Amino acid sequence: MEELVQTFGDYISEYGVVALYLLFFLGILGMPLPEETLLVFSGFLVSTGKLSYLPALIACYLGSISAMTAAYWIGRLLGYSFIERYGSRLGLGYKWYKRTEEWFNRIGKWILPIGYFIPGVRQFTAYFAGITKLPFPTFVLLTYGGGLVWTVLFVTLGWQLGERWEQVFAFVSHNLAAVFLAVIVAIVGSAMYSQYRKKEMSKKKSLPKPEQEGSQ
């Protein structure tokens, strides 16, 4: 971890937000880079005054969504053959490829915002969205929204943690995906239950009322 931080820290300190943009662009496209660590580390650099919060946040966000958009169009225009031929060269192993394919087939478009929080999966989601020809406006809504939450959360986390960022991040990074999925399940379950209750209430209202006894 220390070597990684030192390497990217010097690079980011020298080139600033341009370095952040390029790192996230290349990382999302498939290069083996620790994006969450870089996000939190960027927030830490904000806390030390080496970076400004808003420019750092914008650079990370734009790098991420630019790469996701590029991956979408690569998938849409070139299809599975691109991933099968070039995936291993970009560090996209077959195991992650098949895992993401199975998830995307089951969950479909909803994996786009959730996938940001799962290392090794987010690199494939945009490709599969393009391959399956998900409408571009839907892709933009889900991907750009998920990317914004992901970026703001981790950069702010590093900013607020300061010197403690590395300690706390180790725990957060291993549990965030599970927590996020649990929240999504809870929201979906609550919505389904609410819909069920509305249908039950509607059925009760539609039942014929018993005739009232005539006044004696």
Question: How far is Cα 68 from Cα 63, in angstroms, rounded to an integer?
Answer: 9
Residue 142, pLDDT above cutoff 60: yes
Q: What is the pLDDT of residues 79-92, one digit of tens each?
A: 766 666 665 555 55
Question: How far is Cα 39 from Cα 57, in angstroms, rounded to an integer?
Answer: 8
Residues 6+ apart with CB under 8 A from 195: none
Q: Between these two residues, 178 and 126, which has the higher pLDDT value? A: 126
Q: Using N-to-C axis directions, what is the helix angle for 122-131 and 136-161, rounded to 10°?
A: 170
Question: How far is Cα 35 from Cα 90, in angstroms, rounded to an integer?
Answer: 15
Domain ranges of the chain: 2-166
Q: Is the dihedral of CA 186, 124, 173, 44 positive or negative?
A: negative
Tokens for 144, please give them: 């750009």
pLDDT computed for residue 215 by the predictor:
47
pLDDT computed for residue 177 by the predictor:
56
Q: How confident is the model at residue 97 (pLDDT cuts 50, 70, 90)?
A: low
Q: How confident is the model at residue 116 (pLDDT cuts 50, 70, 90)?
A: confident
DSSP 192: H
Average pLDDT of the chain, as a whole number: 75
Nearest alpha carbon to residue 147 among 182, 189, 170, 115: 115
